Amino acid sequence: MNQQIDDLRNQAVASLKTIASSDELNSWRVRYLGKKSSLMAVLKGLGELPAEERRAVGGQANQLKKELEALLKEKEEALAAVSNLSTGGTDVDITLPGRPANLGKLHPMTLVLHELGEIFASMGFEIVEGPEVEWDYYNFEALNIPKEHPARDSMQTFWVDAPPGENGWEMLLRTHTSPMQIRVMEKQKPPLRIVVPGRVFRYEATDATHIPMFHQIEGLAIDKGITMADLKGTLYEFSRRFFGTDRRVRFRCDFFPFVEPGVEMAVECGVCKGEGCRLCGQSGWIEILGAGMVHPRVLEAGGIDPDVYSGFAFGMGVERIPLLRYGIDDIRLFYSSDLRFLRQF
Ligand code: DAH
């Protein structure tokens, strides 16, 4: 008898595990707890047993009945919870496949700035940032562009209507990242190697190639014995890493008041491979940055002795780079917040 009750328990528990609907559960209830179930038969037959056995079997059978009733109740509740969820009874339907999370992306300009930063960081340059609202002293004066210098005209400036600073300095939105050359020199003594990514502002009419806010990345390296060879080596290496080893690079003389000598660097047009096309204005080359050996007056303005130290600097327009890489013909797309454009990067 003992064995029979144990078998019954095992069977009932095993079959309960496979049940997934309330209909099935009802059949289970009839089968194991119903009037015609084996368990009921045992209970009904108790009267015919000798007194000794009756107590033992009765105890076991009643114990099993209680157990099965408890399991039934538990299962009923579990089924009710699932059906509640799948019929919208609560906020979460656990039977639906999950909704894919909507992942955002970094803006193409941010991606390019990160990539540039990584390349220069791997060459030992530290990444620093500076103020977008500047004094004309840092933006012009200390960079060897005094008040009446014509170079000021080429940088249409947003002046800020604010009380003058130290020594009557006027406030402006920086027109390039070069002012950070001076700020870094004031604080840090050579040897130093830095790059400065950031926004710059020019009071210019907007068209396919001009916007009043764009990005530059400035570079500065100062130490004893730095030469033009260091400048060229660094920028060649940058070009190889960024544009690939097969792109030719060209340096030509250029003028910037804060360097002497000054150069401009161009890379071979990636679209026509130097043949000449619409993108490069038929020249086969695309200018990407200005550079040069830091002018002695600039070193002096930064508190560095030009007889002991020398350095090179460069400044690159960052928007140009994705324009060239992806053949985009309108710079305004980057800032029009059109997700159809931005999602492509
Ligand atoms: N600041 C210059 C500009 O915005 C670019 C530049 C040229 C930066 C030569 C430099 C440099 O550091 O050496 O047009």
Give the chain's domain count.
2
Task: Tell me which residue has its CA closest to atom 7 in ligand 1.
Answer: 290
Cα-to-centroid distance, 255 and ligand 1 (Å) = 9
* Domain limits for position 194: 108-342
- 180 and 245 in a common domain: yes
CATH assignment of the domain containing 316 = 3.30.930.10
Cα-to-centroid distance, 26 and ligand 1 (Å) = 83
Task: Tell me which residue has its CA closest to atom 2 in ligand 1.
Answer: 315
- 196 and 310 in a common domain: yes
290 lines ligand 1 (CB under 6 A): yes
176 lines ligand 1 (CB under 6 A): yes
Cα-to-centroid distance, 252 and ligand 1 (Å) = 14
- 206 and 150 in a common domain: yes
Cα-to-centroid distance, 264 and ligand 1 (Å) = 9
Ligand 1 atom closest to Cα of 315?
Answer: 8
Cα-based distances in Å from 64 to 6, 71, 315 = 9, 10, 85
pLDDT in tens, 111-137: 999 999 999 999 999 999 999 999 999
291 lines ligand 1 (CB under 6 A): yes
Query: What pLDDT was estimated at residue 313?
Result: 98
Cis-peptide, bond into residue 179, ω within 30° of zero: no
Ligand 1 atom closest to Cα of 178?
Answer: 1
Closest CA to 264 of 284, 292, 241, 236: 292
- 236 and 194 in a common domain: yes
Any domain includes 98: no
Cα-to-centroid distance, 276 and ligand 1 (Å) = 26
Which are the contacts of 175, defined by CB distance < 8 A and separation ≥ 6?
139, 155, 156, 157, 200, 201, 202
- 185 and 65 in a common domain: no
- 177 and 41 in a common domain: no
- 141 and 272 in a common domain: yes
Any domain includes 94: no
Please state the pTM of the whole predicted model.
0.72
Closest CA to 132 of 221, 219, 216, 258: 216
Domain end, chosen from 55, 86, 117, is at 86
222 lines ligand 1 (CB under 6 A): no
Task: Tell me which residue has its CA closest to atom 13 in ligand 1.
Answer: 291
- 113 and 14 in a common domain: no
Cα-to-centroid distance, 297 and ligand 1 (Å) = 16
Cα-to-centroid distance, 236 and ligand 1 (Å) = 17
Cα-to-centroid distance, 338 and ligand 1 (Å) = 31
Query: What pLDDT was estimated at residue 86?
Result: 63
Query: What pLDDT was estimated at residue 119?
Result: 98
Which are the contacts of 275, defined by CB distance < 8 A and separation ≥ 6?
269, 284
Helix (H) or strand (E) segment spanning residue 217: strand 213-223
Task: Tell me which residue has its CA closest to atom 12 in ligand 1.
Answer: 314
- 9 and 79 in a common domain: yes
Query: What pLDDT was estimated at residue 186?
Result: 97
Task: Tell me which residue has its CA closest to atom 3 in ligand 1.
Answer: 176
Low-confidence ranges of the chain (pLDDT < 50): none
Query: What pLDDT was estimated at residue 322?
Result: 83
314 lines ligand 1 (CB under 6 A): yes
pLDDT in tens, 305-326: 999 999 999 999 999 888 877 7
Domain end, chosen from 56, 86, 116, is at 86
Any domain includes 97: no
- 164 and 76 in a common domain: no
Place of tokens 């060229």: 232
